[in-house]
A and B are shown apart, each in its own frame.
Chain A
Amino acid sequence: MLVRTFSLAISIFFLTTTNSYAYLDMGTGSYIIQAILAGFFATLFFIKIYWFKFSNFISKIFGKSKED
């Protein structure tokens, strides 16, 4: 993970972003982080979902069920 984040850190220095017109200034850097790491965060989200389903399945086999 560190190698990945390090390479992302380097790529950040070569990216720019759009202006924001909301009442709150989002900050260019915040957009860049979300844009660059979008795939990474989505992957973590799916891992969490499937891990939950998997552990729930295992729990059911052994007679315990987690609530959603």
Chain B
Amino acid sequence: MESLDSSFRDPSGYIFNLDGIFYRAVHISYKDNLDLLENTGLYSHLLSKEQILSYDAQETSKFNVNNDYYKVILPDQLKHVSYPYEWCFSQYKDAALLTLDIQEASLKHGMSLKDASAFNIQFHNGKAVMIDTLSFEEYKEGDPWIAYRQFCQHFLAPLLLASFVDIRSLKLMNVYLDGIPLDYVVKQLSFMKLLKPMVFIHIYLHSKAQNKNASKVNSIKKNISKHSLLGLIGTLKSLINSLKWNPKGTEWGDYYSDTNYSDLSMDKKITILDSLLDELKPHTLWDIGGNNGEFTRLASNKGIECLLFDIDYAAIEKSFLKSKLENEKNITSFVMDFTNPSPGIGWNNKERLSIIDRGPAEVVLALALIHHLCISNNLPFHYVADFFARIVSKSLVIEFVPKNDSQVQRLLKTRDDIFINYNKEFFEAEFAKFFNIKKSIKVDNSERFLYLMQKRNS
């Protein structure tokens, strides 16, 4: 059984895919820790709080794993994978607090997290959940928290930069796969922010200690009590709980009150989409550029598993908070710019998957998006159609926004109109190379058209 490309760091086990189902093989060296996870009651404690992905032990002989492996487990299957650089502020904060809650509970059960990677957290059924069953090890009295630096780099650093400097700092996790270096954070924070006692300790001192002592190996040994570790976790929790981000002046904050739609045409658009979704009945849907998910929820309310993508942190923040408040289980929100979608990164460019490799979706919604791609980003229709054909397995629902629409006029206000082919006829001709155009419906009281297109050869 070959391991996934992302599953090579920890010798305690690996993940493999068999017939579309993901399993985890547990190495014999991890036997004691896995037994401890179950026998101390930590696993059932975390499960009762929905903080960890559940798993079932499998008959190991059914799998082609070598004798060094003690167990094969079948985890609850994730419906989607999102990465930290695709989260909004509150998603990130929830993931950080979950990691600290788990470490606190682990210490109380005689265990400790041996890693604190943000990539170990996923949003499953609307909630942050720990997915790595093999991250726990026996806690030995006197030992430090081995994952403390990783926690600060993966969680604290991005959240501090997002809260104190700029929300877009969260995207740095795309560059720094093992978290944002602490010395980098020190350079970004103002003197006054660095003087906050816990920022000073966890970031400034931590960074300086790293730099000054990285090459020294002389030994000192000091016992660090469990109470001390719980105190450390407490300070991190308080600091992260205190961090806030209030969206101001973002792109889409008031989008729906500032569009070319009258209430009537908005209602009409909702009615058209509603009937298209009833007709298509997909299992999965991606809403690209879906703002705060108003239309996505037409689909998710029908039980369709939805992924919402938007470039704007405020829009995704709103969507995530709404999902959390209303306990929505089948909508996952991503901050993503589709003119530069998440690439494959890490070792061999395969450790973290590109968004294309995480598809395709049965249905893709692309509402009020085409003008942003073609006019703001100069993309020819052909390129856009080609891309959508790669992420769609069945149907594309796309809105054409004509040049005389006020939203397009706004984009053209500050630039020359070089888009001589930006018209409905050329749009249809180019998309017809990849899709069969099934329906074209004019949205009343607007110049816009909604298309239902079926991918060719599907």
Bound CA span A22–B393, Å: 44
Is B10 located at the chain interface by the 8 A CB criterion? Answer: yes
Is A61 among interface residues, defined by CB-CB distance under 8 A?
A: no
Within 8 A of B (CB), among A26-44: 26-35, 37-44
Q: Which of B9, B209, B224, B228 contacts A28 (CB 8 A)?
A: B209
Task: Compute how far the CA of A28 lies from the CA of B234 in the bound complex, rounded to whole angstroms.
Answer: 22
Indicate if B149 sits at the interface (CB-CB under 8 A): yes
Contact B228 A15 (CB under 8 A): no
Q: Taking CB as reference atom, which chain A residue is nearest B197?
A: A1
Docked CA distance A43–B230 (Å)? 10
Bits for B181-221, please: 1 = Cβ < 8 Å to A, else 0: 00000000000000101001110111111111110111111
Contact check, B144 vs A42: say whether CB atoms are below 8 A apart: no
Q: List 12 A-B contacts (CB under 8 A).
A: A12-B213, A13-B212, A22-B146, A24-B115, A29-B207, A34-B148, A34-B228, A41-B227, A41-B232, A42-B227, A44-B231, A46-B227
A2 contacts across to B, CB distance below 8 A: 195, 197, 200
Let me know if A5 is at the binding interface, CB within 8 A: yes
Q: Mark B5-33, 1 if CB is under 8 A from A, else 0.
A: 00001111000000000000000000000
A34 to B213, CA, bound (A): 14
Interface core residue of A2, A18, A27 (most chain B CB under 10 Å) = A27
Q: B147: CB under 8 A from chain A?
A: yes
B145 at the binding interface (Cβ < 8 Å): yes
Query: A29 and B228: CB pair below 8 A?
Result: no
Contacting pair B227 A29 (CB below 8 A): no
Q: Does A9 contact B (CB under 8 A)?
A: yes
Given the complex of chains A and B, what is the CA–CA distance between A42 and B224 in angstroms? 9
Main secondary structure on B side of the interface with A:
helix
Interface assignment of B222: CB less than 8 Å from any CB of chain A: yes
Q: What is the size, in residues, of chain A's interface with B at 8 Å between Cβ atoms?
A: 37
New A-B contacts (8) at CB < 8 Å, excluding given A27-B210, A48-B231: A17-B219, A23-B11, A26-B146, A26-B147, A30-B152, A34-B232, A35-B144, A39-B228
Are B144 and A30 in touch, CB under 8 angstroms? yes
Task: Check B229 for interface membership: any CB of A closer than 8 A.
Answer: yes
The answer for the CA separation of A42 and B146 in the assembled complex, in Å, is 17
Chain B residues whose CB sits within 8 angstroms of the CB of A26 once the complex forms: 144, 146-149
Nearest chain A residue, comparing its CB with the CB of B212 = A13
B268 at interface by CB-CB < 8 Å: no
Answer yes or no: A8 CB below 8 A from chain B CBs.
Answer: yes
Shortest CB distance A28–B (Å): 4
Bound: A45/B207 CA distance, A: 24
Contact check, A29 vs B144: say whether CB atoms are below 8 A apart: no
Q: Are B217 and A19 in contact (CB under 8 A)?
A: yes
B133 at interface by CB-CB < 8 Å: no
On whether A29 and B212 interact (CB within 8 A), knowing A2-B195, A9-B205, the answer reads yes
Complex: chain B residue closest to A32, CB-CB: B209
Nearest Cβ in chain A — how far from B243, in angstroms?
19
Question: When chains A and B are docked, how far (Å) is the Cα of A8 from the Cα of B315?
Answer: 43
Chain B residues with Cβ below 8 Å from A31 are: 144
List, in ascending order, chain A residues with CB within 8 A of B210's CB. Answer: 27-30
Q: Does B114 contact A (CB under 8 A)?
A: yes
Closest A residue, CB atoms, query B219: A18
Contact of B225 among A9, A18, A23, A42 (CB under 8 A): A42
Contacts of B205 in A (CB 8 A): 5, 8-9, 12, 33
A20 within 8 A of B: yes
A16:B213 contact, CB within 8 angstroms? yes
Answer yes or no: B235 CB below 8 A from chain A CBs.
yes
Contacts of B204 in A (CB 8 A): 9
Chain B neighbourhood of A45, CB < 8 A: 227-228, 230-231, 234
A9: which B residues are within 8 A, CB to CB? 204-205, 208
Least CB distance from B152 to A in Å reads 8
Q: Which residues of chain B in 215-258 are interfacial with respect to chain A, using CB atoms and an 8 Å cutoff?
A: 216-225, 227-232, 234-235
CB contact under 8 A between A34 and B219, given known A23-B11, A26-B149, A28-B210:
no
Chain A residues whose CB sits within 8 angstroms of the CB of B200 once the complex forms? 2, 5
Q: Give the distance in Å from the alpha carbon of A8 to the alpha carbon of B204 in the complex.
A: 12
Q: A23-B114, A29-B207, A33-B201 are in contact. Are A17 and B234 (CB under 8 A)?
A: no
**Are B206 and A33 touching (Cβ within 8 A)?**
yes
Asked whether B114 lies within 8 Å of A28 as measured between CB atoms, the reply is: no
CA distance A43 to B218 in the complex (A): 28
- Quote the shortest CB–CB distance from A55 to chain B (angstroms): 16
Q: Are B114 and A29 in contact (CB under 8 A)?
A: no
